[in-house]
Every structure is written in structure tokens, then in C-alpha cells.
Amino acid sequence: MRAFVALPISDELKQAVGRVQGDLRSRLPPHAIRWTAPHQVHVTLRFLGGVNSEAVGALGLALDGACRTVQPLELSLEEFGCFPHLRRPRVLWLGLKGDLEPLQHLQVLVSDAVAPFAASTEDRTFSPHVTLGRLRDAPEREAGSISRALAGFSVGRLGAWQAGCVELLESRTGPAGAVYTQLGRFRLGT
């Protein structure tokens, strides 16, 4: 099964993310973006790739041990950006503020705990964000208009939440997009 480890965000912030996506939709060409469903928005801590279903129990124990060493985090969604950059946007995102140093520490602990179970390695630097959407392949001229439309876009502070748990999720791709199933939930702190 394809799995990943995520930090969930509050339902109120998921609604705020949906409003930001609506604002962006009005600025961009139709069908230019494959949007993340607001109810599925999360902070990915570690993508695992293929995981043996028989290893889920041991994987959960490893995650539980890592999560207990980090206290709940105070985080907020506050800024808009693009990967790799605005001139050539591929991924639209909202950035996090708040307890970022402990969040970075949690990500390292989680990554180390799940490494024996992961089919893939993670060589990118962790950049805490939630993904709003991904650009579909677009002709060069359309990519330029998308970049110009995004240049003036910004968001203020959308809201804050206390991150008190980490989730292990299975991802299945279907005709309507990805469907996530929770395999485990692990509380932060003792």
C-alpha cells in the first residue's frame, strides 16, 4: 500500500483553505490546477511509498515512540507561495508559522522512525506547508499567464491550531483523485 505520515490541520482551517482556493480559481485559467480537496489538506511529514500491510503494526509502534517525545505544537497558516518558484510554479502552497523548530524536530524523528518501513527515501529538505494544488502540464504561454496571475496574490494569517497528533495514512488513487484512509493516529507528548 502507498502510505505517508501527516500532521492534520483543524476543520476551521480546512474551510479557510477552501476559500483561498476559490480566490485562486477566479484568477487562473479553468482546469489549470489539480486542486487538493480541502477536507484532505494536511502537512506531509514523510512520504513512505509502498509499505507492506503486515508491517503497519510495527510501523505504528515506531511512530508512537517518535511522537511521544514532542509536545503539541502551536501552528498557523500565513503565507502563499509556489514550488519551485513563482516564475515557474508547479505546486501552490500555504506556509506555516509558529513552533517551526519543534516541527522540524518532529519531522526528523518521524523520518528516522519510519525509514526501515519506507520504500522510498526522502532527499528533499522539509519545507512545512499545505498543498493547495498542482499545475497541470500547460503550454508555455499559459504557464506565463498563470505566473503573472499569481504574482499579486497574497494571504494574511488564516488562523492557528494546536497540532496534537500525527496520522499514518494510506493513499489510493482513483478516477476522482486520491482517497486517504487513516491507518493510525499518534498523540504528541506523553
Q: Containing domain of residue 150, as a range?
A: 2-187
Between CA 79 and CA 156 the distance in angstroms is 6
Over residues 102-133, the pLDDT tens digits come to 999 999 999 999 999 988 777 788 999 999 99
Contact 109, 167 (CB under 8 A): no
Give the pLDDT score at 121.
79
Global pTM value: 0.92
For the chain, the average pLDDT equals: 91
Over residues 41-99, the pLDDT tens digits come to 999 999 998 888 899 999 999 999 999 999 999 999 999 999 988 888 889 999 999 99
Between CA 35 and CA 140 the distance in angstroms is 20
What sign does the dihedral 46-168-171-118 (CA atoms) show? positive
In the chain, the number of structural domains is 1
Over residues 147-173, the pLDDT tens digits come to 888 988 999 999 999 999 999 999 998
- CATH number, position 167: 3.90.1140.10
Over residues 30-45, the pLDDT tens digits come to 788 999 999 999 999 9
